[in-house]
Amino acid sequence: MFARMKKSGVFGLALVLLATVVFTGWSTRASAATPITSDFRSLQASQVVYEMGAGWNLGNQLEATVNGTPSETAWGNPTITPQLIQKVKAAGFKTIRIPVSYLSYIGGAPNYTINETWLNRVKTVVDYAYNEGLYVIINIHGDGYNTIPGGWLLVNGGNQTAIKEKYQRVWQQIANKFVNYNERLVFESMNEVFDGNYNNPNPSYYANLNAYNQLFVNTVRQTGGNNSARWLLIPGWNTNIDYTAGNYGFVLPTDSYRSSTIPSSEKRIMISAHYYSPWDFAGEENGNITQWGATATNPSKKSTWGQEDYLNAQFKSMYDKFVTQGYPVVIGEFGSIDKTTYDSTNNTYRAAFAKAVTATAKKYKMVPVYWDNGYNGQHGFGLFNRSINTVTQQGIINAIMQGMQ
């Protein structure tokens, strides 16, 4: 940011004026030059949650990487097509979450310029969904993982000042790219960011995560136009419900730079959480636990925890902490893997789980977004065949739509 001053070649009063712009927000001029567009609707929390309905993740595509370089086909999925998005819409989904990694496509300091071809591809895929009238969520996804080569958005990273400068510049570019999109585009600050330790959060690292969320909100708002009023989505520690709703250090960001057109009594920030509980049913790749819920017929195949009462308590805690205060909650990922290889009745319980999560989300005025990684078969989350644009798990889709009724 400060390199812009050094290159300006001005001095005296002009330098003072430029410094004022830099220190108060580089995009002050953009705000004045980019008014909110006429198609942008100012929706209250209950309205936006209703319109977002049930969502679906375009997983393992734009966040897929090889040695730190994003590639949408790197993890076995074909190139994304408009026809796939149309099929998802036809199935009844109203929102599509598009995880995006940037990693090596971000240039060096001080500008941290995003590769233009990659950012244009992100825009093209966003347009596939946006032009269908769907809500779209885009984020910075794999950049916050300690386990991915090139991961840099690390709460346990050594140089937090540099991380924050890079994060700010990246979100400035993304926000400016999409500034004229209406309220159906939602920005999500990051994904499952934590230090890799699944125990209670490290307070210092949690403070870094809170700082990222605050920087995200400030940066996006200061790009002006529709970004000054659109809904922004932020997670707590590893998108974990206990660590977000409980007393572990999560801090809601202030929204000081938002448009004055938003009534002061209304919020424009959403809270993100993921739900894969119980993990031995939803994610563990073995045949031990293949059934879920009250209708399970084999107690030895059912987890000892994470059933309907636990689900209700988890979502209620988010409702009590955030929804009641005007902050919608998005369950940005949920689902369970295919274990029919071990138990031919597994899909029945996958559907029961999906319906219960969706119905409980609706009960507590949240937006449920199913995780689909594009993989069908053993241990896959797929609901669609992305190569031929067909439905592979109509039963689970039906369950999700029934849960929304």
- Confidence band of 78 (pLDDT split at 50, 70, 90): very high
What are the angstrom distances between the C-alpha of 105 and each of 31, 80, 88, 137, 333? 27, 19, 29, 20, 25
- Confidence band of 24 (pLDDT split at 50, 70, 90): very low
Vertex 174, ends 172 and 175: CA angle to 5°?
65
Alpha helices in 222-278 (DSSP H): 241-245
- List, for residues 343-401, the tens digit of each pLDDT value: 999 999 999 999 999 999 999 999 999 999 999 999 999 999 999 999 999 999 999 99
Give yes or no for residue 314 having a pLDDT over 50. Answer: yes
333 catalytically annotated: yes
**53 vs 27, more confident:** 53
Check residue 58 and give its pLDDT. 98
116 catalytically annotated: no
Check residue 54 and give its pLDDT. 98
What are the angstrom distances between the C-alpha of 243 and each of 201, 238, 268? 7, 8, 22
State the catalytic residue, choosing from 51, 132, 165, 192: 192
| Contacts of residue 269, Cβ cutoff 8 Å, sequence gap at least 6 | 217, 231, 232, 233, 234, 252, 253, 255, 327
What are the angstrom distances between the C-alpha of 401 and each of 94, 243, 261? 11, 29, 35
Check residue 34 and give its pLDDT. 75
Q: Which domains does the chain have, with CATH numbers?
A: 1-33 (no CATH), 51-403 (3.20.20.80)
- Whether the CB-CB separation of 358 and 400 falls below 8 Å is answered with yes
SS3 for 169? helix
Check residue 387 and give its pLDDT. 98
CA distance linking residue 130 with residue 120, whole number of Å:
15
